[in-house]
């Protein structure tokens, strides 16, 4: 067993748990720029990376940070950056490049109130930006929403695994109230943690095609120094990797472009995760994610104790969004309450899944998070 990661029980800050999850997953490169409420990630990375033989670098800004982790990934390292809303906006061009070049990397966004500088209070405001922030729409993204310190560790590991398997940037979409929470964290020994590494080419260098893959998978990744021709571009490209600058080659490029979506969509059952409780007889279902899910669970338990038929549905994977699964889980309920800290971003996805504007009810806040009493009052109101 790797002595750097023995089994342990800890009392830890959420942002620090994220760092430990990244290191356990094999992250050995971090580039970032300080920003509240994500700075503790960079601070701890600066200390921990040298201890495990990795590299920490403070960049001049967020765009440079995301570009640095792309370069590190192509050099063969698992790489991560961390930021908050304003910095996440600046990273979008780099994230789009990572999508186009199928570069595995992890971006942590500790959400806070916007627009612009906003404030340091938590908010679940970057849900749609995580999905649609980059220009062009012929791609899918993966985003995970932790609701505890334990999940700040566990879902960071999962983010790296998904990134490596599907060769896509994965976003850990957390928020200030989770990242700045301190609570117990159980860390398994290194041998017990599932680790996924990117596929490598198995063909001779002269036979290697960098974008040759089935529609439901990512191609093997030859990194610099492996002995393969490494030619990658953010341009629309053919299967060989060459930019498409003329219409006769467009069908080949369109095929490669569609695979950026299909490798995620065709594996949506494997990628997406939800937590459910008490749905079997629920007349009302509360849908939530992140920090709101903590209050939602308490409200549902109090409602159950009061004899209310109410169920709990927590989104762990925010993107891709499995509309069919949500529709199935909510089919028998009369009302679906969506609790989130924004103006209603996941609310519209739930409404689209169920297909009824009367059945889906928003419970929205613009700062911090819900209290159990606020959610319970809404449950009682909708009875």
User: 348-363 pLDDT, tens per residue?
Assistant: 999 999 987 789 999 9
Specify whether the backbone of 307 is left (phi greater than 0), alpha (psi in -120 to 50) or beta: left
pLDDT greater than 50 at residue 84: yes
Contact 257, 99 (CB under 8 A): no
Backbone angles phi, psi at 285, to 5 degrees: -120, 135
Residue 223 has what DSSP assignment?
P
Q: Determine which helix (DSSP H) or strand (DSSP E) holds 81, and give its type and residue range.
A: strand 78-83
Query: CA 67 to CA 93: how far, in whole Å?
Result: 9
Specify the pairing of strand 284-288 against strand 335-340.
Answer: parallel
Residue 1's pLDDT band (cuts 50, 70, 90): very low
The mean-pLDDT minimum among 13-17, 128-132, 225-229, 276-280 falls in 225-229
Query: CA 112 to CA 367: how far, in whole Å?
Result: 9
Kindly report, as residue ranges, where domains of CATH 3.40.50.970 are found in the chain: 8-192
Residue 31's pLDDT band (cuts 50, 70, 90): very high
**Which residues have a Cβ under 8 Å from the Cβ of 235 and sit 6 or more positions away?**
100, 243, 244, 245
Backbone angles phi, psi at 13, to 5 degrees: -70, 145
Token reading at 310: 């109410």
Q: What pLDDT is attached to residue 2?
A: 44
Residue 184's pLDDT band (cuts 50, 70, 90): very high
Asked if the 275-381 domain carries CATH number 3.40.50.720, the reply is no
Report the CATH fold assignment for 8-192.
Rossmann fold (3.40.50)
**Which residues have a Cβ under 8 Å from the Cβ of 353 and sit 6 or more positions away?**
321, 323, 324, 326, 327, 330
């Amino acid at each position: 067993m790797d002595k750097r990661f023995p089994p342990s029980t800890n009392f830890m800050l959420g942002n620090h748990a994220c760092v430990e999850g990244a290191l356990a997953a094999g992250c050995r490169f971090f580039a970032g720029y300080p920003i509240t409420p994500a700075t503790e990630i960079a601070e701890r990375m600066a200390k921990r990376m040298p201890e495990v033989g990795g590299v920490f670098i403070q960049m001049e800004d967020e765009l440079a940070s995301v570009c640095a982790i792309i370069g590190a990934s192509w050099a063969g390292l698992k790489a991560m950056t961390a930021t908050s809303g304003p910095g996440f906006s600046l990273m979008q061009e780099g994230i789009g490049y990572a999508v186009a070049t199928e570069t595995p990397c992890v971006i942590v966004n500790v959400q806070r109130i916007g627009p612009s500088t906003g404030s340091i209070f938590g908010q679940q405001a970057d849900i749609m930006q995580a999905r649609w922030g980059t220009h062009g729409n012929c791609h899918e993204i993966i985003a995970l929403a932790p609701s505890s310190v334990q999940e700040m560790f566990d879902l960071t590991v999962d983010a790296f695994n998904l990134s490596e398997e599907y060769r896509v940037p994965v976003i850990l979409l957390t928020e200030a109230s989770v990242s700045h929470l301190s609570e117990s964290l159980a860390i398994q020994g290194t041998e017990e943690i599932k680790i996924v590494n990117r596929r490598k080419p198995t063909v001779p260098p002269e036979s290697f095609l960098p974008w040759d893959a089935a529609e439901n998978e990512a191609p093997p990744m030859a990194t610099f120094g492996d002995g393969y021709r490494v030619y990658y571009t953010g341009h629309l490209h053919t299967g060989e990797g060459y930019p498409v600058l003329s219409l006769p080659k467009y069908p080949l490029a369109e095929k490669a472009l569609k695979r950026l979506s299909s490798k995620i969509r065709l594996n949506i059952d494997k990628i997406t995760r939800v937590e459910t409780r008490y749905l079997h007889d629920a007349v009302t279902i509360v849908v939530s994610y992140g920090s709101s899910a903590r209050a939602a669970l308490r409200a549902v338990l109090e409602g159950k104790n009061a004899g209310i038929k109410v169920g709990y549905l927590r989104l762990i994977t925010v993107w891709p969004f499995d509309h069919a699964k949500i529709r199935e889980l909510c089919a028998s309920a009369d009302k679906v309450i969506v609790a989130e800290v924004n103006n209603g971003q996941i609310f519209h996805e739930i409404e689209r899944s169920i297909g009824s504007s009367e059945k889906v009810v928003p419970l929205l806040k613009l700062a911090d998070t819900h209290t159990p009493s606020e959610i319970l009052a809404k449950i009682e109101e909708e009875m």
